[in-house]
Amino acid sequence: MSTPYNFAFLDENTKRMLRRALLKAVAIPGYQVPFGSREMPLPYGWGTGGIQVTAALLGPDDVLKVIDQGADDTTNAVNIRRFFGRVAGVATTERTADASVIQTRHRIPEIPLREDQLLVFQVPEPEPLRTLEPREAETRTMHALADYGLMHVKLYEDIAQYGHIATSYDYPVMVDGRYLTSPSPIPKFDNPKLDRSPALMLFGAGREKRLYAIPPYTRVESLAFDDHPFEIQRWEHHCALCGAGDSYLDEVVVDDRGTRMFVCSDTDYCSQRRDDATEEAA
């Protein structure tokens, strides 16, 4: 290759280390595996964990899609996609169905994923108990002993303060009935998509140096109380562009008089629906 980089930027030893950690993560669903996170050419918090996982997974024949809050055309998504296009020479796409590896920040695509697809999450804080328990040694012991009563304290507080479970993103889940896991800051709307998903889901936290995984068809439950069951967000609106009533909607302010519209957060889903509608009309 004429580029000064190894294929997919990271050296082969680093990729091997990452793959070994990923194998361990897949073997113990939801368990946070420590790994030697590398310096990447973007700042912590911009997806250094996800980008390292993607680098370890990519082969020359892969097709990469990168989304940021559901959108293919935001700065973060565009730059990571271009980065791998340059250092790995892989094909990139914006179509969910065409991608073999999808790196995502804070969303799961609306189109159901398949067994031959990999979903890579960027994770800022892999420890779901961190806001309640600042000591790492303590949270690790709690995971080891499955001592998770504390997590319900947070949900209790939500109901006590707001009358319902107000946690709307990064909603804690139990993976395979064993490990309490952060699904990364996806809206809780996406939590049901984690449950028994055909696609392998991998999570990378670069700053915190942790990897974890939800293998295909693994049971994933969102925590709740018996009398306050888990619920996803609902809207009174449909998407203003494609009319979808089943997707996660963003509220967009369109002028300085407070006019707003609701549009699909998944840009690929939205544009495909609009294309389909034009074809039907034609």
Nearer to other proteins, 130 or 238 (CB): 130
- Out of 157, 195, 221, 250, name the contact with other proteins by CB under 8 A: 157
- Letters for 160-199 (x = contact with other proteins by CB under 8 A, - = none) are xx--------------------------------------
Give catalytic status of residue 242 as yes or no.
yes
Task: Considering only the stretches 2-10, 66-74, 156-164, 166-174, report the one whose residues sit in contact with other proteins under the rule CB under 8 A.
Answer: 156-164
Instruction: Name the amino acid, one letter, at 100.
Output: S
- Contact criterion met (CB below 8 Å) for 196 and 218: yes
Name which position in 227, 246, 256, 280 contacts other proteins (CB under 8 A): 227
Q: What is the dihedral of CA 45, 46, 49, 55, to 10 degrees?
A: -170
Placement of tokens 């690790």 in the chain? 140
The residue range among 97-105, 189-197, 208-216, 218-226 that interacts with other proteins, by the rule CB under 8 A, is 218-226
Beta strands at 173-175 and 220-222: parallel, antiparallel or unpaired:
antiparallel
Provide the minimum distance between the beta carbon of 223 and other proteins in the complex, in angstroms, as a whole number. 9
Nearest to 148 by CA among 175, 112, 185, 110: 175
The structure tokens 């304290």 sit at 153
Q: State the Cα–Cα distance between residues 49 and 62, nearest whole angstrom.
A: 19
Assigned token pair, 72:
């293919």
Query: Is residue 30 annotated as part of the catalytic site, yes or no?
Result: yes
Positions annotated as catalytic residues are 30, 239, 242, 264, 270
> Where do contacts with other proteins occur on this chain (CB under 8 A)?
141, 145, 147, 149-150, 152-154, 156-157, 159-161, 224-228
